[in-house]
């Protein structure tokens, strides 16, 4: 089966600096592929090229078999590229259930900020209720976003991103700022979502990466220095030296 996301030879320079230097990787259907690397390695630059916010100097990006290298971001979303909703896009005065309902409605082309399709309402709420019931937020459906803990907001972001039914979801440090219990819940939520979409997971938390990733690619100074299973990456001397600090 061809990969759902296929990145080949992506080069992006900023002046004299090569932020991604012929980066290639694939994400297969059903796979969680982790991208790790120290600060400044080029991870965000790579994610931004996949989203279409930055156009590469060279290389190609194929999404679900289509060349999207020069397609604007909205076109990539339409082809199934998902990103977590940023916490800043959550509506603080509305409840968990209402925010999720708006995201579900947005998938159908509705307005994210207004319930404007009365006929769809029941389906939207039924879906929101069933998603919440199976989540870490099951007891928090009626709580305003303003009253959620940081980890709960991150859980809600993930549910909202998944509600768009992406083919491949880009996750930029989902564990950032989470305490131990919250991290465990996020790992569980990502594990549970494994069957719904493929994921490219940028993450510093190595416990989470080793718990979740089917494959890991290691980016250092713009180059992939190693790629493989968790076991292979753990045992790789170049990775231990360059990244794991051993
Ligand atoms: P990471 O996300 O892995 O920490 P980044 O992709 O943010 O790394 O950055 C990679 C390199 O590119 C860094 O040296 C950074 O300073 C540089 N860089 C990123 N964005 C820009 C930009 N818009 N202009 C100039 N340099 C940039
Ligand atoms: Mg970054």
Which of the listed residues 23, 40, 55, 242 should we mutate to test ligand 1's pocket, taking the one with most ligand atoms within 8 A of CB?
Answer: 40
pLDDT tens, position by position, 113-125? 555 555 567 888 9
Q: What is the ipTM of this complex?
A: 0.98
Element (H, E) at 209: helix 206-212
Binding site membership of 13 for ligand 1 (Cβ less than 6 Å): no
Q: What does the pLDDT read at residue 245?
A: 61
pLDDT 10s digits, 79-95: 999 987 666 678 899 99
Q: What is the pLDDT of residue 242?
A: 74
Alpha carbons within 13 angstroms on the beta-carbon side of residue 121 total 6
Nearest CA to 216 out of 24, 39, 35, 21 is that of 35
With a cut of 80, say whether residue 104 has pLDDT above it.
yes
Residue nearest to atom 17 of ligand 1 (CA): 19
| Percent of the chain's residues with pLDDT above 70 | 91
pLDDT at 166: 96
* Distance in Å, CA 42 to ligand 2 centroid: 7
Pocket test for ligand 1, best of 38, 42, 202 (most atoms within 8 A of CB): 42
pLDDT level of residue 2 (50, 70, 90 thresholds): confident
The residues with which 241 forms a beta bridge, in sequence order, are none
- At 118 the pLDDT is 52
Residue 39 C-alpha to ligand 1 middle, in angstroms? Answer: 9
Q: Where in the chain is the domain with CATH 3.40.50.300?
A: 1-80+166-246
Is ligand 1 within 6 A of the CB of residue 40? yes
Instruction: Judge if the beta carbon of residue 145 lies within 6 A of ligand 1.
Output: no
In whole angstroms, what is the distance from residue 210 CA to residue 185 CA? Answer: 15
Q: Residue 81's closest CA among 16, 148, 4?
A: 4
Q: In the predicted model, is pLDDT for residue 241 greater than 70?
A: yes
Long-range contacts of 91-95 (CB under 8 A, 24+ apart): 91/145, 92/144, 92/145, 92/146, 93/144, 93/145, 93/146, 94/144, 94/145, 95/141, 95/142, 95/143, 95/144, 95/145
Residue 195, classed as helix, strand or coil, is helix
Nearest residue to 30 via CA among 167, 165, 162, 212: 167
Which tens digit of pLDDT belongs to each residue from 16-67?
A: 999 999 999 999 999 999 999 999 999 999 999 999 999 999 999 999 999 9
Span 10-19, average pLDDT: 97
Beta carbon of 17 within 6 Å of any ligand 1 atom: yes
User: With left for phi above 0 and alpha for psi between -120 and 50, is residue 22 left, alpha or beta?
Assistant: left
Burial label, 94 (beta-carbon count in 10 A; 0-12, 13-18, 19+): middle
Ligand 1 contacts CB of residue 37 (under 6 A): yes
210-226 tens-digit pLDDT? 999 999 999 999 999 99
Q: Measured from the CB, is residue 39 less than 6 Å from ligand 1?
A: yes
**Does ligand 1 lie within 6 Å of residue 227's CB atom?**
no
The pLDDT of residue 105 is: 86
What mean pLDDT is reported for the chain?
A: 91
Longest C-alpha distance within the chain, in Å?
Answer: 59
Whole-number Å distance, alpha carbon 133 to ligand 1 midpoint, is 40
Mean pLDDT of 201-214: 94
Whole-prediction pTM: 0.92
Q: Is 110 in the pocket of ligand 1 (CB under 6 A)?
A: no
Nearest-CA residue for ligand 1 atom 19 is 45
- Whether 95 contacts 142, CB under 8 Å: yes
Distance 138 CA to ligand 2 centre (A): 31
Does residue 16's CB lie within 6 angstroms of at least one atom of ligand 1? Answer: no
pLDDT of residue 111: 57
Helices (H), 4-69: 43-51
Number of neighbours of residue 44 by Cβ within 10 angstroms: 16
CATH domain 1-80+166-246 topology: Rossmann fold (3.40.50)
What's CA 160's distance to the chain center, in Å?
A: 12
User: Residue 68's closest CA among 10, 147, 154?
Assistant: 10
């Amino acid at each position: 089966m061809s990969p759902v996301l296929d990145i080949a030879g992506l080069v992006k320079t900023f002046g004299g600096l090569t932020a991604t230097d012929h980066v290639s990787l694939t994400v297969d259907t059903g796979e969680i592929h982790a991208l790790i690397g120290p600060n400044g390695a080029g991870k965000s630059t790579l994610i931004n090229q996949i989203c279409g916010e930055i156009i590469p100097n060279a290389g190609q990006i194929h999404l679900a078999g289509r060349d999207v290298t020069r397609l604007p971001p909205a076109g990539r979303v339409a082809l199934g590229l998902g990103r977590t909703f940023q916490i800043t896009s959550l509506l603080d005065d509305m409840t968990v259930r209402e925010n999720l309902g708006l995201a579900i409605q947005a998938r159908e082309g509705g307005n994210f900020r207004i319930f404007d399709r009365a006929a769809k309402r029941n389906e939207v709420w039924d879906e929101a209720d069933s998603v919440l019931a199976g989540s870490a937020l099951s007891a928090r459906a009626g709580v305003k976003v303003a009253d959620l803990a940081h980890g709960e907001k991150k859980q809600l972001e993930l549910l909202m991103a998944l509600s768009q039914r992406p083919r491949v979801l880009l996750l930029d440090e989902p564990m950032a700022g989470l305490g131990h219990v919250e991290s465990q819940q996020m790992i569980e939520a990502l594990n549970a979502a494994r069957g719904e979409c493929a994921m490219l997971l940028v993450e510093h938390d190595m416990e989470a990466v080793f718990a979740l990733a089917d494959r890991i690619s290691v980016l250092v100074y713009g180059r992939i220095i190693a790629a493989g299973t968790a076991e292979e990456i753990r045992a790789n001397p170049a990775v231990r030296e360059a990244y794991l600090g051993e």
